[in-house]
Structure 1
Amino acid sequence: MDIGIFMMPSHPPERSLSDGFEWDLKHLELCDRAGFAEAWIGEHFCSPWEPNPAPDLLIAQALLRTQRMKLAPGAHLLPYHHPAELACRVAYLDHVAKGRFMFGVGSSGLPSDWRLFNVDGQAGENRKMTREALDIILKLWESDRPFEYRGEYWTVNRIDTMHETLKFHIKPYQKPHPPIGIAGLTPKSDTLEIAGERGFMPMSLNISKSYLAEHWASVERGAEKTGRTPDRNDWRIVREVYVAETDAEAKRLALNGMLARAYREYLLPLFGGFGLMPLFKHDQNVADSDVTPEYLVEHNWLVGSPRTVSQKLADMTGDAGGFGTLLVLTFDFSEEHEAWATSQQMLISEVLPQFRHRAAA
């Protein structure tokens, strides 16, 4: 198993955009030094708790301040980008990264962003736009000849040479293109079917065992359409993690900092509005009002000493049926940076070796 991070990026609404950006860079530097394999950076337009509409700007800065780990938008929301523009922009950034770039795509799950861009997400228009945009981007990268693509949402012309010097010329550094990951949100994710169909990396939140099972079933449905066999080692799963010397200290830190605050003020109300609250419960007799950060510490999150978190990670792996990369969901820990830095370092230096020892036994 590899370890990476997933940054929404999350910041409290009172944090200035520039201060949040600087802390994100500081955290990426920390994770690179600690030995994390990769970092995925989200994109949203109308969520004050996830205030980054341009993950590629953060990636461009982070490439200058990190040395080893791969960086990726997690994800560019394809309905909101002209595919020809994004194909050129992503290919250009791939050259700047020289192999340390992955291309994350998604269809968008926030109704606020749907409304801003006049996309009918309730009817699935966002998913149809994602398929079309991805088709165009890949065709631009793969083709060496002019073509016209007339789709339902975009018309794109890969031009022949004009005026002797003008031509389409920006193709990715990695061949045929950077590794592609696709994020899914809904339980029976149509977006993750695309990952299965095309052999791309699926990405899932770990809301619960049943949620993950439905996500992998979506990948398998997609793979069946094209005769592929999906590889669980490609699967990225996002999980909340907090490690400290003792279980009591880890719980105290998790429940008295930004992780718990973000859940109380943002994520639990949001998931409740999406009708996903039952997925968090280990027992459906639990009332929605009882699904709190305190509940999640006991039943969902990977919180505790290195030994405890190693066992919880082993249990999570078994429940999921296996996966390749754990992505630590990251919040704005700028006011508790030292404790969070310790947690991240202990995850790599103590939890991961214990987990691998268990897995090899």
Structure 2
Amino acid sequence: MSRKSFGIFLAPYHCPAGQNPTAAFERDLDVLRLADALGFAEAWIGEHHSCGSELIPDPFLFIAHAVNHVRHLRLGTGVVSLPYHNPLWTAERALFLDHLTRGRFMLGLGPGALPTDAAMIGLPLAEQRAAFEADVEVLAALLRGERVTAKTDRYTLVDAMTQLAPYSDFEVAVAAVASATGPRAAARIGASLLSLGATTPDGFATLARHWDMMERRGAEYGHTPQRGRWRLVGPVHLAETREQAIEDVRYGLDDWADYTQHVLAAPHLRAAGSTFAERVVWVTDCGMGVIGTPADAIEQIERLEAESGGFGPFLLMHHEWARPDATARSYELFARHVMPHFQGTGVRLRAAAEYARSRWEELDQAHGQAIQAATSRHPDAAT
């Protein structure tokens, strides 16, 4: 297994609706600061405009602010709902942010996750994914610096081009949930895949199919997809014991589950159960997420490795199932125990400790004798 990197997928969820948005944004920044300090590699920030709980409407603007609060994290749009925007302005903002972040920017794209967002701008849900596939091609051409003329019901481009060249060869990723839209679009333009529904019951079953689509369609367009850039997303909450983890999520799991069941009209992301106990069982037993210990998280990621055939970064879907202090502890446990398991960073440390242990008796005795000899040579000196 190659060295795996880890990141955060920050929708973000602030359930139930009605919280102080200013304080919620500050908590989101706290998550990024903590992830940066703990050695996570990247974070992706979503775009949503309705439903009252996913509060960031412009991930470009949030990233431009957040990049000044972290030292190492790469920051990506997770994701821009491309059919909602003129692709020329999306390309311009992406190139601009690539410069402002000095190459720490990633561009994530999708058709839009909240049906209420699309409904407010009169975009029929039946047309959303086809519009996205067409827009991705236009956007890719603009990012390459080509001149583009295109006309749809949503925008008109006339000999359009971007005036900024990129600062870096920044990564473009396309979201995939249940349908083949994501892998089709990603393979066509040579983008990476961001599997947002990887741990849903249906998501496990689609992983292999999605990657098969990436390889077959990529070959048609002259692109070779890289498994090392395929990201899988899933929720995790850790504590020292499973019992403590379950007690932690008593704080907010019900609110999040109610949001997916009665507010967010998205069948692919819908909790099951009407009681706290039933919802905990749904998360853990169907493999949707982890509410448990670092060992449980390791088992989940290894299961995803086996089911997918191999992937790159694993992104923890950020949630507020637990209070901020318990959530921070969860991230710390993940960084301390789960990340080293997949990155091999503990191997040399354990070898160094075992070497010292194997020579402890010999060296401890020799060290004591050396101290005693030095003391005997200078009996009047202060010790």
| TM-score normalized with structure 1 length | 0.84
Instruction: Give the alignment partner of residue 108 of structure 2, picking from 104, 115, 140.
Output: 104
Task: Say which SS state the counterpart of residue 109 (structure 2) adopts.
Answer: strand
One-letter amino acid of the counterpart of residue 95, structure 1: H
Q: 1:189 aligns with which of 170, 176, 180?
A: 180
1:323 maps to what in 2?
311
- Give the alignment partner of residue 5 of structure 2, picking from 2, 21, 25: 2
- The offset of 1:224, in angstroms, is 4.1
Query: For 1:208-223, what aligned pairs fall within 5 Å after superposition?
Result: 208=201, 209-223=204-218
> Partners in 2 of 1:200 and 1:21 — Cα distance?
29
Aligned counterparts of 1:48 and 1:219: Cα–Cα separation in 2: 35
**CA 198–288 in structure 1, closer or farther in 2 if over 3 Å, else same:** farther
| 1:144-170 C-alpha deviation (Å, 9 max, x unpaired) | 6xx45023343223469xxxxxxx522
Which residue type is aligned with residue 181 of structure 2? D
Deviations along 1:214-260, one digit per CA (max 9) or x if unpaired, are: 43344344324324332222111111111111222122223x122x1
**Equivalent residue for 1:155?**
156
1:9 aligned counterpart, secondary structure:
coil
1:346 aligns with 2:333: yes
After TM superposition, the structure 1 = structure 2 runs for residues 1-361 of structure 1, keeping only pairs within 5 Å, are 1-12=4-15, 13-122=17-126, 125-143=127-145, 147-153=147-153, 154-158=155-159, 169-175=163-169, 178-185=170-177, 187-204=178-195, 205=197, 206-208=199-201, 209-254=204-249, 256-258=250-252, 260-269=253-262, 274-276=266-268, 292-300=279-287, 301-332=289-320, 336-356=323-343
- When residues 234 and 280 of structure 1 are mapped into structure 2, their CA distance, relative to the original with a 3 A threshold, is farther
Contact 1:264–1:293 under 8 Å retained in 2: no
Q: Match of 2:188, as an amino acid? A: E
Q: 2:239 touches 2:333 (CA, 8 Å); kept in 1?
A: yes
Matched residue type, 1:87: A
Worse overlay, 94-103 or 125-134: 125-134
Q: Quote the residue 1:284 is aligned against.
A: none
**C-alpha contact (below 8 Å) 1:9/1:330 kept by paired residues:** yes
Give the C-alpha shift of residue 212 in structure 1. 2.6
CA contact (8 A) 2:110 2:132 kept: yes
Find the residue that maps to 1:237 and give its secondary structure: strand
Is residue 184–residue 191 contact of structure 1 (8 Å, CA) maintained in 2? yes
Letter of the structure 2 residue corresponding to residue 156 of structure 1: L
Q: 1:9 to 1:223 in 2, by over 3 A?
A: same
Distance 1:188 1:19 in 2: 35
Shift of 1:265: 1.1
Higher Cα radius of gyration:
2
Gaps of 5+ in 2: 348-383
CA distance in 1, matches of 2:307, 2:263: 25
* Unaligned segments of structure 1, at least 5 residues: 161-167, 282-286
* 1:263 partner letter: W
Instruction: Give the direction of change, closer, same or farther, for the CA distance of 1:17–1:202 in structure 2 (3 Å limit).
Output: same
Mean CA deviation greater in 67-76 or 41-50: 41-50
Asked whether the 8 Å contact 2:63–2:75 carries over to 1, the reply is yes
Structure 1 residue 199: Cα displacement: 2.2
Q: Kindly report structure 1 stretches of 4+ aligned residues shifted beyond 6 Å.
A: 287-291
Sequence identity of aligned pairs in percent?
A: 27
By how many angstroms is 1:191 displaced?
2.5
Range with bigger deviation, 320-329 or 307-316: 307-316
Post-superposition offset of 1:14: 1.7
